[in-house]
Amino acid sequence: MGVNISVDLKDEVARIDLGRRLDATNAPSLQEELQKIIGQKVSKMVFFAQELEYISSAGLRVIIFAKQKIGVDAHLYLISPQEAVLNVMKMSGLDNFMTVQTEFSE
């Protein structure tokens, strides 16, 4: 998978580290990793975005995919997004179904 992008599921919490960029080059790899947890119980999906500098429409689609296919009933969190990334999330409306926080604690 792309540099610094990872998905880990433990105790119904999916932790997704988005790395520095989420675009057409690495979004498919992230989606493949997310597909591995389809069908498992996920109550929280936590996207760690502190290093994320850029997100494209392909990256946004992966987050939408995650919500629709994995975490329909899960609560989504976006942790420590940089201002530019947060602005894109707001423009796309994704911030309407995600809780934006500076840190995550269970």
Q: What is the CATH number of the domain that holds 22?
A: 3.30.750.24
Beta-strand ranges (E) seen in 1-106 are: 5-10, 13-18, 21-22, 44-48, 54-55, 75-79, 98-101
Segments forming the whole domain that contains residue 20:
5-101
Indicate whether 106 belongs to any domain.
no
- For 29-66, the pLDDT digits (tens) are 999 999 999 999 999 999 999 999 999 999 999 999 99
pTM of the model: 0.91
- Count of structural domains within the chain: 1
